[in-house]
Structure formats: C-alpha cells, structure tokens
Structure 1
C-alpha cells in the first residue's frame, strides 16, 4: 500500500510503501473489542479489601452475663458496633487484571492501524519539526492539513521536542512514541498521524 508523505506545511514529501501485513488487514470488530476491553480493564485499580468479623483478631469471649447487666447482650468483641470490630458489608477485593494472548494483542494493533488506513484517516508526516516550538505556528499548519477534532500523533523512538512544546496547549492533539501505540488510543482519535520513523518502528515491531 502506497501512501503520500506530507510535511507539516501540507506540502508533499514523496511516498512511502506501507506493509500490507501491518496496514492492509481486514479489521474485525470482535478482535478490536477484545483488545479494547482488555486495555480498559487493565487500567482499573483494585480496591483495598476491608476486614470483616471473621478477619478481625479479637476475643470471642462473651462480654458479660446475658441478663441483669443493664447493657446490651453482646457476645463478641468483633461485632461491627465496637471500635476495632469487623466492618459490616465491607469492600471486597476484585481482580481487574485479565490476561489476553500476545498474538491477539498484536493482531488487534495491526487491525487498528489497518482500520485507519482503510477509512482514509491515516496521515504520514515526514518530520515533526516546528519552528521555535511555537503553538501558533503549529495550529496554522494543522488547519492546512485538515485533521479532525482529535488527532493522535505517533513519533519514532522518542517524541520530537519542538512538536511536544508546540502541541502542549492544543486541545485534541496527543503525542506519543511508537512504543506506546495501542488499540484504544488509535480508535479513540479521528486522525492517526505517523512519522516515517513511526512507520519503520511499527513495522519492525511486528516483523521482529
């Protein structure tokens, strides 16, 4: 698959041949759903479990006689009404750390990239250099490129510092290195922007 490469000023910078095994697959909704669900569940934190009556180490001896003491008929210091007693109906620890086969995760990422390439929302940029890292300059350039409301920009090994500075105050523009590419973020943006270095890193990631 051949795609035109652009500069940030919307001028042409040649073409690039994308690997069909990475960018030319037919997306499957079931695979994408499994990977996105796995990602979101991995983000959930587990609550700290509270100690209930069975978990509290206190005396089980009856506090006093059943009748005639003038107080309630308690028989256990572990009761929730006492300070230091067990919690009634407390929070339980739940596991939100499911597993997913590495091959399925890799296939999901390939299909997410292919989905963006198929619907025309994939843009390849030569380099992300912004003059003096100015936000105003970058905002004007992005208008010329015609990105959607939300654009995910993926660079190579490390993010471009000038672009990071310029895009820091731009709402809807997110930047990450190629190692951070994931299905949820790709699908959650209107436009996917890859640099030449990002394309090389992603293709090497799967071919390796």
Structure 2
C-alpha cells in the first residue's frame, strides 16, 4: 500500500510503499493481549528471596532438656529467634520472567503497526530535523501535523539529535529508535509517527 509522506511543516514529500506483510496484517486481540502481557511482566522485578528455617544449614539437635534447664524451650538453632536462623515469613522468590515465542512477538508487532494504519493514526515523515532544536518551533510544527495527545515517534538506527532536544520538554511526545519499537508503546499512543528510515528498518527487521 502507498502512504503519503509529509515533512514536519505538514507539506507533501512524495509517497512511500509500505510492505503489506508488515503493515497490512489483520489485527487479532488475543495475539496483542499475549504480547502486551508478556512485555509488562518482563518489566517486573523479582524480590530477593530470604532463607527460611528449612533453608538454614544448622544442626537439628535439640539444645537442651525440655524442662528444668531454666531457659526457653527451643528445638534447634535454625529457629528465627536466633542470630543466623531462618527468617520467619520472609520474601519469597516470584518468577515474573514468562516466555513467548519469537514468532508470536514478531506477529504482535506487525499487528500493532497494521492497527495504526487501519485506523488512520499513522503518519510518515521525511525527516525529523528541527531548526536549532527549539521546542517552540517543533510545537508549532506538530500542531500543523495534528498529533494526538500521546504521540510515539520512531526514527531509524540513531535518534535525530535536534528533534530529541526539542521534544524533551513536550508532554506526550515519546521518541524511540527503530530497534526499540514495541507493541505496548505503539498501542498506547494516539498517533504513530515513522520516518522513512524507520519504515526501512522495520521492514528489514522482519524480512531479514
């Protein structure tokens, strides 16, 4: 399919042919849900587990007589009341590192890109050059392009320095390189903005 390419000043800059195998896939809610769930669970950190009574390497021999010793009645040195003993009700190791096939992850990204094309919220720009890296100049340009409240801008291999500097103070504008494109950020954005270089990198990512 062909899509109109614009400049940051909302002027026409020709057309670009999008690969239907990447940008023309029919979205499926179950695939997108699986990928987003996997991505969010991968972000979660795991608590460092503590050693409980059964994990401490100490003798299980009873310390003394049950009665008559004038001291508390203890079973062994692994009790939580002793220094070095097992911790009572300590943190448990919880695994938040799920697995998901690479094919499903790749399919989810294709579907997320295709969903933005289908609902008309994809904008392809020629380049991201901003004069002197000024936020005021970029803000005026984005108003012409009609960016939504949340816009995800994806560049090529490296981020455009002037755009990164100008957009750093703009609320709702998120900038990523092509290698960082992911399903969660794409679906969360109101507008997806791709440069020509980003389109080439994304298509090469799947065709390679």
User: TM-score of the superposition, structure 2-length normalised?
Assistant: 0.96
**Any unmatched runs of 5+ in structure 2?**
none
Q: Which residue of 2 aligns with 1:6?
A: 6
Q: Which residue of 2 aligns with 1:154?
A: 154
Aligned pairs, how many? 208
CA RMSD of the aligned region, Å? Answer: 1.1
**Any unmatched runs of 5+ in structure 1?**
none
Shift in Å, 1:167:
0.6
Provide Cα deviations, 1:6-26, integer angstroms capped at 9, x if missing partner. 111111111111111111111
Shift in Å, 1:61:
2.5
Q: Which residue of 1 aligns with 2:110?
A: 110
Provide Cα deviations, 1:123-149, integer angstroms capped at 9, x if missing partner. 001000000001111111111111111
**Mapping 1:113-128, distance limit 5 Å:** 113-128=113-128
User: TM-score of the superposition, structure 1-length normalised?
Assistant: 0.96
Shift in Å, 1:152:
0.5
Q: Which residue of 2 aligns with 1:168?
A: 168
Q: Which residue of 2 aligns with 1:55?
A: 55
- Tell me, yes or no, if structure 1 residue 38 matches structure 2 residue 68: no
Shift in Å, 1:206:
1.1
Distance 1:42 1:26 in 2: 26
Distance 1:65 1:167 in 2: 74
Q: Which residue of 2 aligns with 1:86?
A: 86
Q: Which residue of 1 aligns with 2:25?
A: 25
Distance 1:69 1:205 in 2: 74
Distance 1:62 1:31 in 2: 57
- Tell me, yes or no, if structure 1 residue 195 matches structure 2 residue 192: no
Provide Cα deviations, 1:49-104, integer angstroms capped at 9, x if missing partner. 11011111223232222112222211211111222211112222122111111111
Q: Which residue of 2 aligns with 1:143?
A: 143
SS of the residue corresponding to residue 100 of structure 2 reads coil
SS of the residue corresponding to residue 46 of structure 1 reads coil
SS of the residue corresponding to residue 5 of structure 2 reads strand
SS of the residue corresponding to residue 54 of structure 1 reads helix
Distance 2:92 2:83 in 1: 20
Bigger CA drift: 127-136 or 92-101? 92-101
